[in-house]
Every structure is written in C-alpha cells, then in structure tokens.
Amino acid sequence: MSGGGLLVAGTTSDAGKSVVTAGICRWLVRRGVKVAPFKAQNMSLNSFVTREGAEIGRAQAMQAQAARVEPSALMNPVLLKPGGERSSQVVLMGRPVGEMSARGYHGGRQQQLLGTVLDCLSELRDTYDAVICEGAGSPAEINLRRTDIVNMGIARNAGLPVLVVGDIDRGGVFASFFGTVALLGPEDQALVAGFLVNKFRGDVSLLEPGLDMLHGLTGRRTYGVLPFRHGLGIDEEDGLRVSLRGTVRESAVAPPAGEDVLRVAVCAVPLMSNFTDVDALAAEPGVVVRFVDRPEELADADLVIVPGTRGTVRALEWLRERGLAEAIARRAAEDRPVLGICGGFQLLGEHIEDDVESRRGHVDGLGLLPVRVRFAREKTLTRPVGEALGEPVEGYEIHHGVAEILGGEAFLDGCRVGRTWGTHWHGSLESDGFRRAFLREVAAAAGRRFVPAPDTSFAALREEQLDRLGDLIEQHADTDALWRLIESGAPQGLPFIPPGAPA
C-alpha cells in the first residue's frame, strides 16, 4: 500500500513552503513516521550532489536531512538552473540534459516530464509512510496551469491534499488565500484542504476572527498559525531573486571568542550559485559575512570571497565593469586573503576556454592563480573528501570547467599562491576543523585578534535549526488534523469558490 502524502503550496514564492515542508518532515520523523520530501520541479542556483552523484536542489537536501534520510534524485527529479532571464539548464534525474528557453520548456517539454515526475513520487510513496511535497511559486498561476507538473498538476495526478501557506508578514494574506482558491478549477479546488499562516507577529486572538471569516467564505479551515522566528530559513532556492544590497548572513551565535571580529565580503556576482557556502562562516561567533557589489566595500574586509556562479565569464566581466576585479587583484598583490570557490576559482586563473557555458571561446582571467580552465560539455558531479591545512575536509563539486593547475601550492583540488586560495569544492567550510584552521590563517594575515570558537559545530547548529522548525509545527499547527490529511486525503464536500479557473 502506498504511503500518505501532502502538497505544501504557497500563495507566492517565498511564502515559506520550503521551511514548512522541512518542519513537517522533522515533526513526522520525531513521531516515528518514515517520511521523505519531494519537489517535482525546482528552479534554483543552489544545488547539492547526492551520494550517487546526482544534482538536486539544496532545499530538498536540507528537507531530507530534516527527515533523517539520505537525499536522492527521486526527491527532485527536475531541476532548472537559470543561465539568464530567459533560459535555464534542465537537470533531469540529477544529470544535465540541455539548455532550454522558458517558452520552449513551458511550451511542451515540461508536460513530457510528468510521467518521470509521477514515477518518482510513486516510488517514494511505495518506500515511505509519508511523502511531503513542495510546490513552486503559486498554484494559481493560471497562465502555466495547462503544463503544470509541480503544483495542482501533480496534486491532481497523485490525489494529494493541498495545504496553502501564506506569509502574513508581507500583508494581504486573507486576499491571497481566497484568491488562490478562487482561481482554481473545480477539480483542483476539491484538493485544497485549507491554509497555514506563516510569520505571524503578535496576539493570535486578534487574527482568529479573520480566520473564522475565511472559513465561512471558503469552507476551508486554517491548520495553524506559525509565529515569526528569526534565523529559521533553510537554504534558499533561487539566487536570482535574492536582493543582496547590504545583505548580512544572519546567525544567532555567541559573542566573539577573541578580541576582534573578522569581516568577510562576498562578491555578489551575477547568477551566483551555492552562496550557502558562506553560511558556515556566518555561524562562527565573531565572523560578519556581507554580500557586496562595489570596490570600496572590500576595503575593510579581512577576507574576500568570489563565490560560485552559473556564468563564470559573465561574472568576470561584471567584476571588471564594477572595478571589483582591480580591487581583488590589488588585495592579492598585497597578500591579503582572497578565496575563490568553483566559478570564483575559475575566474581567478590565467585564462578560460569556454565553448559550453558562455560560448565565448578564449577569455583572459584575473591571473591571480596559475590555472587554466577549459569548459567540458559533461558536468563534474562528485562528493570528494581530502585534507587541507592539516584537517580533514568534505565537499561536493558541480561544474563544467576543468582546471589545469600549473603551479602554486596544492589546496583541496585547486591551489593557493600566498594568501589567494582557489577550489572547486563547495561545502568545504562546513568541516569544522578545516574552517577554524582557515579562519586562523585569515586572521593572522589580517592582523586581527580573532580566535575561532573551539566548539562551533555547523552540523549541530543545522540540526538545532531543523528541530526548531519541527517545534514550530508541533506547537503551532493542528498536528492531528495534519496527519489525517496526510493519511486520508482532502476532506470530502469542499465547496467550489467562484469564479474558478478561466476557460
């Protein structure tokens, strides 16, 4: 018998679908339910590599961690990695299958993938007691409903009850809830069981009359009101949508262990990918991580990071246009710390040969590392382990660029020259011993009296965060009613709310 299921949809992007899905997974696994996450189609520049070498969205990897299961390509069969405003790389079952325009994808290719998506969901439901599915954007995107495979399209085909999440902190949540249901056709509306309010501040009793009125208008109940909590977001999905102007990575941590703080500036390059690499730095007491896009913002930084990007050549041009390339080169000449990760590592090299990503052919890099990069059509997807700075390190690689190392000192799979480091390894800073050793070296180079805390465990902090998400569901949602939804499906006889979907 197949396991139960639920689709967590949202009134908008960023309504909290990923967080709620992770919280439900953690709540269920703590009560002994064997549970898995699922997202049919994800658009994200933040991805992860599973043990079998498949690329999936980082949000699904974190949801798998919440469920205490190993991430799998089954959990995110379709991943779209934007390469600009109108095209994306399509990753199917963890492997890239080509570039496609948005019009081409929604014009037919998406619907062709429905069978694969449903097969993956079916396999998970045969294996687990419950599968908690995450939707994308809003289920009421009426222009995309015909080819939808991630919201009501999959709910209809798999018979999943739907819980709609709304972010009340943004305002307009009642209109969003009502409008979401009222723009769906009768068959879709029959699966929308009710609502979940996210990020509420204040006295819930003041909200309850509105929830009662919403129930009267729609015939659908609210399954919980989750309070606003700082620092609970798991890995973001879409690097294109993040507003980085002055953004500081947020972490609730103890005071600095030493006398000084350490300032880290991350260049907010176009199509930035896996910027979650710096979360482990932000988790360190006394480390301030800031995303920047102007050269003057590098002046007081103790460490500059050039992160991964889905457009290495485009990012290189952007750095030059903004004057950041010159500022980074000046830092390297002064032996001040610079770290390049993945695409950031590639553009620190001597030159790039790219007939795959940008198709620009030969492009001169910044020349800060003795490295030449050639883009291969096949993507490298691995989970390497190694040692650096006398400490064990784990990471994961996602890149088309193949680096030829011509000198310098070995550093993970890349190299270092003085205090300029480059590597293809994402996630290396999550290795606690290596992170501390690296920060000690950065602090010494910067002349800062910064001392890494001896007991910061990034894995433990992540577990605490996921437990807090589980607590939110357990304490502020009607878990008995949620379980009935997951086990038995949407209630019968839910009323139709006009006008419904347009013809």
Q: Give catalytic residues, as residue numbers.
A: 342, 426
d(CA 33, CA 26): 10
Q: How many helices (H) and strands (E) does the chain have?
A: 16, 27
Q: Look-up: residue for tokens 């006394």?
A: 286
d(CA 385, CA 81): 26
Angle between helices 173-182 and 204-218 (to 10 degrees): 20
d(CA 245, CA 122): 42
**8 Å CB contact between 470 and 66:** yes
> Which amino acid is it at 453?
A
**Burial status of residue 240 (CB atoms within 10 A of its CB: 0-12, 13-18, 19 or more):** middle
Long-range contacts of 327-331 (CB under 8 A, 24+ apart): 327/295, 327/298, 328/267, 328/298, 328/304, 328/366, 328/368, 329/366, 329/367, 329/368, 331/298, 331/304
What is the DSSP code string of 253-272? Answer: -PPPSSSS-EEEEEE--TTE
Angle between helices 458-476 and 479-488 (to 10 degrees): 90
d(CA 105, CA 110): 5
**8 Å CB contact between 217 and 4:** no
